Every structure is written in structure tokens, then in C-alpha cells.
Structure 1
Amino acid sequence: MVNIRSLDPSASPLDYYGAELRRLREEANLNQAQLGDIVFCTASLIGQIETAKKVPTRRFSEQLDAALMTGGVFSRLVGLVLKSQLPNWFQPYAEMEAKATYISTYQSQMVYGLLQTEEYARAVLATGLPDDLEGLVAARMERQRILSREHPPMAWVVLDEAALHRPIGGREVMRNQLAHVLGFRASRWLRIQVLPFAAGEHASLIGSFTAMRFDGDPDIVYTEDLIAGHMTANPDTVKEAALRYAHLQASALSVEDSAELIMRVMEERYGDQPGPDQRAVA
């Protein structure tokens, strides 16, 4: 006999999602294997999600809605589930990020989170040795949906050249990541500049920061330390961040020259390389 774990739907969004999935599946007179066949996954995955042992993805949720004819219940619920997977200290920032009308960020070590590919994000998040890596990756991918909204925030990203050269996840992951960044060139709402090594000392040697602007609310500046993140609406801090960001933009390459540098690094550092038994053709 299958041992069915008893869930408390009020314990978390993930528990509620699992309880609803089990309830609606049973109402449809489907066992886990039958539902799995319909949504192209294993019975084991259905069971893990029903018992809150695994985090559902948005695509899985959309497939469930179609299979169980729920009217979009799981597609609406999955956003709350994925947000709940973020660290507690990060959730307030994610909520403000989703409300921002303008985002300006300087990233000194890695590609900005909203621009990361799934493989790159997985490699970055794995460095924190999390208990549920896949849940964190899914949550980061969910955050990126703000860039594809009908009215996305205006975003301006300054990447330190170091972020292009640090081989996070390996060569193939980095090549795909830089190609993904280049794919935003056609975006009306997003601009990317690279702060080159040649700039030398600059206005944010102390590290990365993000500023957010809102309709009707004070601007916010966000920074992170080793353990957590910090938001402030202190006017003096906001003014200082704006000044430093202006200097960073002035020191950075133009949007066009930045794209050329990203493309050059992608090809020269992460492109196809001759193996030990091959020679480059002139």
C-alpha cells in the first residue's frame, strides 16, 4: 500500500499546491501515472510535487491546468510557490523589483540575475550549497518574467568586464550566457554597458549595487553582503548611489562597443578551441 504523506495546506504555498494537485487529480479519477502520461512526466514527479518534496515549474503548471481543466489555477499559484523558494531575506527585494518602473544596476562579479540563463544561474546558486538548488533556479527564472511583461521596467545594466571573463559553469555555459546577453540588443527597454578593465579605478570598487525607481514611492538602493541583502530609501544613500552610477555609465563603453566586446570575449575565450591534437587553421 502506498504511504501517502499528509500535508497541511496552510503550511506553505508549496504544501498548498501539492494538496490542490492531489485533490484535483483524484477528482478527475486519475492516478499519478495516468496524469504523468498526460503531462509528459513520471508518476514519481507527480508524487514528489503532491508531497511538497519538489518544486513545480511554470511549464509543468500550465500543463496541469490544461490536463485537469482548472481554468489556470496552477499557473496562478506557481508564482507564489516560486517566490516562497527565495531566501526570506531576499523576498522583499523580489517584491519591490517586480513593482519597479526603472532599474539600474552595476554588477562587479557576475551577470545580472534577470539576465542569467538557467545553466549559469544553477552554477552561481550552487556555490551557496543550498538544500534545494532546483527550487532556487526555478525561482530565479520566474523573476525574469518581469522583462517579458507587456509593460516591463526600463532597465540599465553596467557589467564589469570581469563578469565576462569569469568562466562560471564552464566554457559552453559561458558562451550560451554571453549569447543570451547579446540577445537583448533589440530590446527597447533594456540597455547593457560593459565597464572595461581599462577604466582602472572607478566609482564602485566596493562592489555591486542596484537602484530602483517606482511610480509614487521613494527610490530604493539594494546591496548585498556575505549573508544577506539590504534595502534603503535613505535620501542621502539614494543620491550617492545615483552619483556613483552616473560615473560608472560615463566610464563604461557605449552600448554598441559593449556588445562588440561581449561578442569578442564570447568567440575568443569561449568559442570552439582546437584540441590537443588539432592545429588552428590560419
Structure 2
Amino acid sequence: MLIDSHVNLHAPQFDDDREAVIARARTAGVGLMVNICDRVSNFAAVRAIADEPDIWCTVGCHPHEAKEDPDLPPGRLIELAADPRVVGIGECGLDFHYDLSPRDVQAKVFRAHVAAARESGLPLVVHSREADEVMGEILEAEFARGPFRLLMHCYTSGAELARRCAAMGAWFSVSGIATFKAAEDVRAVIEAMPADRIIVETDCPYLAPIPHRGRRNEPAYLPHVLAKLAEVRGWSLDEAERRTEDAFFALFDRIPRP
């Protein structure tokens, strides 16, 4: 089974043809998708798409949106995560590239998500961009307070942060960026990731893989990501599919394995 661990099917880019996009994903062999929450105020729209039997969802607040709810309590996330279709906490984290929310607010809201993941037992879906040192410090400090499971989504950060996260048992997801010609540094990190903790994603509608780069991304393009992962790791396509499926269900264990 192909599994797209990170989709944004509620995004307005899909408003005109959402059902067709989902149908194309299924035709391409994508048997399961996780629709990722970008902010708590949008959770109802995110959750509505997870009414499909092969689509699940998360609850959380992207660092871009942290300013919307700077005092977000862990309890609110835990309350929404009681919904059986919710399988993770996030997307959350730090984005120091765009700084669309103040950095101190990003960190505060991120820590609230960590607390919710720790208490709920659900995996934390982490976004990190140009924040390697602060991200590592926060994760290690929080992990010392009590363990939690984490996924470094669409991993494009450095090898040192990857090492620090792997020491905490993190999973890593590979996106279409791995196919980009200039992404040699990303592929070098992928080559060193723990083999049993790698999954794949599209992050659609963003980051379409080659040969679709520059277009709106969609889950049907996931086979290109899997093929590049297999190439980088020296796996056959069947092995890459099996390994990423095993890793996915080990992480998102609220989802019953078919």
C-alpha cells in the first residue's frame, strides 16, 4: 500500500476538484492519507475530509498560524484529539524562514503541542525550517521531561538535527524535495536516516516532485517520491513500499492496519 502521510486536502487549491483529486490518488495506488491540520480554528474543515474511510487527520497549529492562538492550551488539543479519526498532533513547530508568527510565540505554541502529544500518546508532527539549533534544544528539553513520539515531517534540515532527533527515536518523512536536482544535501541526510523510521508524503498542494515540479501537487504523485527514496537508499520499489508502510503503522498506531 502507498501511504501519503501528509496531505492538505482542505486547502483552497482543491476547492474546484477535491473529489477528483482523491479519486486520482486511489487510482494511483494511494490507499491511505493523513489530512494535516494547519490551525485549530480550521479543524472542522480538516476533520470533515477524514470522514472518508481511507483518510485520517491531525489537530494542531502550523508555526505560521501560531499568532492566531498564542495561549493555545494543551487541553484544547487533547480534547479535539479524542475524536477517533484524529491520529496525530500538529503540524506544529518552528519556521524562522518566514517568521509569520513571532519566534517566542512559535516556541510557546510548539511546547503546548508537545505536552498534548505526551499526554495523548499520539505522534507529534513537526515542521522545522531554518531553526535547527532552537528546535533541537526544545525537543531535547521536552523529551527529558517525558518521552513522546515525533515525526520530522518533510525533512530538509541539517544532518546534526537529524542525528539529535534520531537519538530521541524520531521518524522522518521524505517529500518531493528529494527529487529536486539541487537537493543533494537533502538526499545525503535521507541516506543516513534510520531505515525503519522513514515514511513518505506529498505535502500537497505544495512541493510537487519532478516531473510535476511547478504544478499543484496532489497525492497521485506520491509514487515519484517513493521511487526517489528507493533510489537513494538502494532499495527496490517493493522494499521501499514495505518499509515505509511498516514505519507508518508503527508511528500512527491509532490507524488499524488492513
TM-score if structure 2 supplies the norm length? 0.30
Question: Larger helix proportion, structure 1 or 2?
Answer: 1
Larger Rg: 1
Question: Larger strand proportion, structure 1 or 2?
Answer: 2
TM-score if structure 1 supplies the norm length? 0.28
Higher relative contact order (CA 8 A, sep 6+): 2
